[in-house]
Chains A and B, each alone.
Chain A
């Protein structure tokens, strides 16, 4: 591609980084090709499934649509950061304990959205859970167990 590229600087999983990106590059391409991060996955490619979710300044975005140039100056967290210290995040623990996945392809997206939800609403109502997770699809249909996991994660975070 001949489009002029540009250097952007952002924080990725706690570290300052820079990347050379073309205007058409999406965030997920840069994470994969530039940083070898594969936890965000492109599935629908249309912002409809949430498999590619990353947290940008604390908010879930669809990295399949989000143009990388707009991440300049942002703080980015991918699922890889959650257990960076070797210890699982309470959300991840809860997903395991509640059996809240089958194939696991959608799981990083659900985990990150749950993290955002609990950061904003530590004790979420059923409605809030449905609202925050409505942009994430699970074709394995693990929703009942995911709801259970979110509630369990809320309890785990509340008790620490």
Chain B
């Protein structure tokens, strides 16, 4: 099938309001948060108070004695009905409730069930657990050589070929080691005009979707139904079926609108727990986390990145060595994919002949880390774009010009050997530079307050290979229903997918009804993640629509309607069935080609179906007397191929910018001996309306993604890539100091200023 054969009928490219807009402003949009069932029990979780320890004893007697408590459930109770209750997309390492051991503070240990949430909560508090504490490890670099092991034995899930060599491995905290080798970096370093080496770090942060994680399960007649705020119901179905030894058709997973996801609501979160609880209690069970509990569920990886480059005197980067340590916390979740898929792009969007990358996913005694809007990419861009800026400054080269000289152009191989196509990196960089007024004189401030500008660019490959399947259903009156498993968590997929289907069928997008993901009716989709839906599901929908059109044409031929008559669909059905009756079902699926990287060298000529890129320009004002800084302007420019709905794309871009702004200057999970000190919006501050830069803009560059539906590709993550280093680079430009560990705070800036002045503040 030729996917580019579709000529737009004008539905793609329209900035129509979200199709569910009315439901959202009237408060009637469905979220699982509000879902209830008759007879439903509420589960409240008792969590580990130690970072690493053997469970000696769990005393549930006081909790069970509280009037109104239905049951107290522990890991051992679950083991009785699910003999091997461990789950995970990469490793089967996470128990539904702790078994034998706990591995981080906040790990679920037991659950209290009651119809009244207050009673369940009191009961959960009345459970007492005794532990024999074990030595713990928290730092991702130390984890590699530490002798405290988070897991006794590694248990890869078997779904990922590149984890097979880890089966049964003991005495290690390394859950994945990815290596890329291209050329000879050491020879280049020995011969280079200049060699630069730096280390950068990022902190642990959390998605904090405003709809906290929530799942409800019910069971009857050997089948289970799970209502859940999940970004990948198909995965949940397969994994729950595996745990219970059921066929997929006995497990139904349905979603509604998600109140934010950002990568947090992927894979198994509460689904296995509510399933086990409903099977034990024989009543429907709901578990709804508090904001505080979300911090103990899934987070973004802290990361340490050591980067070293060889540079010629005229500013060409000839070699780059990257050592990336991702802190995956106590359970792997999708972390190994983060380390591998992001690892191979760790050298940045530059044309570098010699590249050496080692990327490690480590286990530590912290809350688990997984996907968060960028799949490891923002951590990488933070490092390589800070590094790039430092090199430009050291060589007295203009930072934009230095990037321009080294940028990877279309048709050139990226570090994996995969040739770059349809990635308008140069256009993105130039647009961001122009938007911020790069190269033009500006007010650099006076007195103690100085101004500066910074720029940064990042890129990311799509997660590959993954499949999407879609169904287009035309009813007797000609109306169209679209069944697609893409989950709308705010990115606007319901609207975008309706636009794609409508455009293919030549109807109005508003008339298409999109059915929310429900594995009983919507076909398989790998997941709403990694900015993959527009491209993968978009192509599946195009194919489903083409299939429906072919069937319509066949029906017309069967009825003897001459070609080109343009008879309304309803009339075709009427002639066929003699009434308003019947359906035409078009199906389509898509999975891109892909070649796994060579395990030794990371080389492959087909790493990804497409690349996404974004550049950020920033202007700041820094008070040299206090270190306080204000972001005056933040411009984020991204490439998304054809924008299906330009308005929604812009909102996504500015939204991602705001989120990454939070991760850059406000947010950070703070620990003392493994205890999280700030799991609340009172102490973990996310951006509010007062924190918006005076000017915050999102822009898209015109481009076209070959092979994409109507030339489109994803953009949900792009706005996060380059924000952090653009801000650090602007601060450096303003006051000459470099912050190398996120978050960037006034205190860090002030300390750096004092240090630069030869008058450092004492460490506290």
User: A141 on the interface (CB 8 Å rule)?
Assistant: yes
Q: When the two chains form their complex, are residues A92 and B651 in contact, meaning their CB atoms are under 8 A apart?
A: no
Q: When the two chains form their complex, are residues A139 and B27 in contact, meaning their CB atoms are under 8 A apart?
A: no
A-chain residues with CB within 8 Å of residue B27 when the two chains form the complex: 38-40, 78-80, 107-108
A-B pairs under 8 A by CB, number: 159
User: B317 on the interface (CB 8 Å rule)?
Assistant: no
Q: When the two chains form their complex, are residues A144 and B692 in contact, meaning their CB atoms are under 8 A apart?
A: yes
A147-B689 contact in complex given A49-B210, A139-B659, C-beta closer than 8 Å: yes
User: B648 on the interface (CB 8 Å rule)?
Assistant: yes
User: B144 on the interface (CB 8 Å rule)?
Assistant: no
User: B596 on the interface (CB 8 Å rule)?
Assistant: no
Q: Contact mask A123-159 → B, CB, 8 Å, 1/0? A: 0000001100110111111111111000000000000
Q: When the two chains form their complex, are residues B17 and A140 in contact, meaning their CB atoms are under 8 A apart?
A: no
Q: List 13 A-B contacts (CB under 8 A).
A: A38-B28, A40-B27, A43-B259, A44-B291, A45-B291, A99-B648, A102-B655, A104-B29, A105-B209, A105-B260, A134-B689, A144-B654, A145-B651
Q: When the two chains form their complex, are residues A41 and B33 in contact, meaning their CB atoms are under 8 A apart?
A: yes
Q: When the two chains form their complex, are residues A130 and B690 in contact, meaning their CB atoms are under 8 A apart?
A: yes
Cα A1 to Cα B399 in complex, Å, equals 65
A96-B25 contact in complex given A103-B490, A105-B259, A143-B692, C-beta closer than 8 Å: yes
Interface members, chain A 101-121 (any B CB < 8 Å) = 101-108, 111
Q: Which 6 A-B pairs have the closest CB atoms?
A: A39-B27, A141-B658, A103-B490, A105-B259, A104-B24, A102-B490
Interface-central residue, A102, A104, A111, by most chain B CB under 10 Å: A104
B-chain residues with CB within 8 Å of residue A103 when the two chains form the complex: 209-211, 257-261, 489-490
A41-B490 contact in complex given A48-B681, A103-B259, A141-B659, C-beta closer than 8 Å: no
On A, residues with C-beta under 8 Å from B are: 1, 24, 32, 38-41, 43-46, 48-49, 51, 78-80, 82-83, 88, 92, 95-97, 99, 101-108, 111, 129-130, 133-134, 136-147
A-chain residues with CB within 8 Å of residue B208 when the two chains form the complex: 139
Cα A145 to Cα B21 in complex, Å, equals 14
A92-B258 contact in complex given A105-B210, A141-B687, C-beta closer than 8 Å: no
On B, residues with C-beta under 8 Å from A are: 17-18, 20-29, 31, 33-34, 68, 116, 118-119, 207-212, 257-262, 290-291, 489-492, 647-648, 651-652, 654-659, 680-682, 686-690, 692, 696
Measured CB to CB, the closest approach of chain A to B439, in angstroms, equals 26
B-chain residues with CB within 8 Å of residue A48 when the two chains form the complex: 680-682
A43-B212 contact in complex given A48-B682, A103-B260, A104-B259, C-beta closer than 8 Å: yes
Measured CB to CB, the closest approach of chain B to A58, in angstroms, equals 18
Cross-interface CB contact of B689 among A45, A96, A101, A143, cutoff 8 Å: A143
Q: When the two chains form their complex, are residues A137 and B489 in contact, meaning their CB atoms are under 8 A apart?
A: no
Cα A101 to Cα B212 in complex, Å, equals 18
Q: When the two chains form their complex, are residues B24 and A41 in contact, meaning their CB atoms are under 8 A apart?
A: no
B-chain residues with CB within 8 Å of residue A144 when the two chains form the complex: 654, 692, 696
Please name the residue on chain A nearest to B29 by beta carbon. A104
Interface-central residue, B23, B28, B687, B688, by most chain A CB under 10 Å: B688
Cα A111 to Cα B26 in complex, Å, equals 9
B-chain residues with CB within 8 Å of residue A32 when the two chains form the complex: 34
Cα A106 to Cα B689 in complex, Å, equals 13
Cross-interface CB contact of B26 among A43, A51, A82, A133, cutoff 8 Å: A82
A-chain residues with CB within 8 Å of residue B26 when the two chains form the complex: 39, 79-80, 82-83, 88, 92
Cross-interface CB contact of B688 among A38, A82, A137, cutoff 8 Å: A137
Q: When the two chains form their complex, are residues A142 and B210 in contact, meaning their CB atoms are under 8 A apart?
A: no
Cα A79 to Cα B27 in complex, Å, equals 6
Cross-interface CB contact of A41 among B22, B34, B647, B655, cutoff 8 Å: B34
Q: When the two chains form their complex, are residues A41 and B259 in contact, meaning their CB atoms are under 8 A apart?
A: yes
Cα A51 to Cα B291 in complex, Å, equals 12
Cα A139 to Cα B258 in complex, Å, equals 12
Cα A107 to Cα B68 in complex, Å, equals 36
Interface-central residue, B26, B262, B680, by most chain A CB under 10 Å: B26
Q: When the two chains form their complex, are residues B118 and A104 in contact, meaning their CB atoms are under 8 A apart?
A: no
B-chain residues with CB within 8 Å of residue A51 when the two chains form the complex: 210
A140-B22 contact in complex given A43-B291, A103-B211, A103-B258, C-beta closer than 8 Å: no
Q: When the two chains form their complex, are residues A106 and B210 in contact, meaning their CB atoms are under 8 A apart?
A: yes
Q: When the two chains form their complex, are residues B260 and A139 in contact, meaning their CB atoms are under 8 A apart?
A: yes
A-chain residues with CB within 8 Å of residue B655 when the two chains form the complex: 102, 140-142
Interface-central residue, B21, B208, B647, B656, by most chain A CB under 10 Å: B21
Q: When the two chains form their complex, are residues B682 and A46 in contact, meaning their CB atoms are under 8 A apart?
A: yes
Interface-central residue, A39, A101, A138, A141, by most chain B CB under 10 Å: A141
Q: When the two chains form their complex, are residues B259 and A1 in contact, meaning their CB atoms are under 8 A apart?
A: no
Q: When the two chains form their complex, are residues B689 and A133 in contact, meaning their CB atoms are under 8 A apart?
A: yes
Cα A147 to Cα B695 in complex, Å, equals 12
Cα A97 to Cα B490 in complex, Å, equals 16
A97-B657 contact in complex given A38-B27, A108-B27, A111-B25, C-beta closer than 8 Å: no
Cα A139 to Cα B294 in complex, Å, equals 14
Interface-central residue, A40, A51, A103, by most chain B CB under 10 Å: A103
Measured CB to CB, the closest approach of chain A to B379, in angstroms, equals 19
Interface-central residue, A41, A43, A97, A111, by most chain B CB under 10 Å: A43
A-chain residues with CB within 8 Å of residue B31 when the two chains form the complex: 41, 105
A-chain residues with CB within 8 Å of residue B209 when the two chains form the complex: 103, 105, 139
A-chain residues with CB within 8 Å of residue B24 when the two chains form the complex: 101, 104, 107
Measured CB to CB, the closest approach of chain B to A48, in angstroms, equals 4
Please name the residue on chain B nearest to A32 by beta carbon. B34
Measured CB to CB, the closest approach of chain A to B650, in angstroms, equals 8
Cα A138 to Cα B18 in complex, Å, equals 17
Cα A133 to Cα B657 in complex, Å, equals 20
